[in-house]
Amino acid sequence: MKKIIPFSLICLFLIAVGCTKQTPTIDQNTNQPATNVNQNLDTEKPTEPLVDWQTYQAENFSLKYPAYLLPEVKQVGVRTTVSFLYTPAEGERGKTFEVASMPNQAGSTLDEWANELISQTGLVKRELIKISGQTAYVLTIPETGNGNQYLFLSQDSRTMFEIEFNNFSQEIRDLVFSSFVLVE
Residue that wins the pLDDT comparison between 181 and 44: 181
Q: Rounded distance, CA 100 to CA 156, Å?
A: 17
Residue that wins the pLDDT comparison between 91 and 29: 91
Per domain, the residue ranges of the chain are 4-44, 54-182
Q: Rounded distance, CA 64 to CA 54, Å?
A: 5
Q: Rounded distance, CA 137 to CA 149, Å?
A: 8
CATH for the 54-182 domain, from 3.40.1000.10, 3.20.20.70, 2.160.10.10, 3.40.50.1000: 3.40.1000.10
Does 35 have pLDDT greater than 50? no
Measured between its terminal Cα atoms, the distance across the chain in Å is 83
**What percent of the chain has pLDDT above 70?**
67
What pLDDT, on a 0 to 100 scale, did the predictor assign at position 109? 94
Comparing CA positions, the residue from 155, 122, 153 lying closest to residue 139 is 122
DSSP assignment letter at 89: G
Residues whose CB falls within 8 Å of the CB of residue 139, separated by 6 or more in sequence, listed in order: 114, 117, 118, 123, 124, 125, 126, 147, 148, 149, 150, 151
Query: For residue 76, which phi and psi values (nearest 5 degrees)?
Result: -130, 105
Residue that wins the pLDDT comparison between 48 and 56: 56
What pLDDT, on a 0 to 100 scale, did the predictor assign at position 178? 92
What pLDDT, on a 0 to 100 scale, did the predictor assign at position 27? 46
Q: Rounded distance, CA 169 to CA 40, Å?
A: 30
**162: helix, coil or strand?**
strand
